[in-house]
Amino acid sequence: GENVEQHPSTLSVQEGDSAVIKCTYSDSASNYFPWYKQELGKGPQLIIDIRSNVGEKKDQRIAVTLNKTAKHFSLHITETQPEDSAVYFCAASIKDTGNQFYFGTGTSLTVIP
* Burial class of residue 20, CB neighbours in 10 A (0-12, 13-18, 19+): middle
If the CB atoms of residues 66 and 94 are measured against another protein, the closer one turns out to be 94
| β-strands 19-25, 72-77 pairing | antiparallel
If the CB atoms of residues 85 and 88 are measured against another protein, the closer one turns out to be 88
Given 14, 40, 43, 60, the residue binding another protein (CB under 8 A):
43
User: Residue 8 Cβ, how far from another protein at the closest point, in Å?
Assistant: 12
- 50-69 positions binding another protein, by CB under 8 A: 51
Query: Cα–Cα distance between 75 and 70 in angstroms, integer?
Result: 16
Query: Cα–Cα distance between 44 and 41 in angstroms, integer?
Result: 10
If the CB atoms of residues 10 and 18 are measured against another protein, the closer one turns out to be 10
User: Residue 77 Cβ, how far from another protein at the closest point, in Å?
Assistant: 19
Query: Cα–Cα distance between 4 and 44 in angstroms, integer?
Result: 17
Interface residues with another protein (CB under 8 A) are 1, 6, 9, 31-32, 34, 36, 41-46, 49, 51, 89, 93-96, 98-101, 103-106
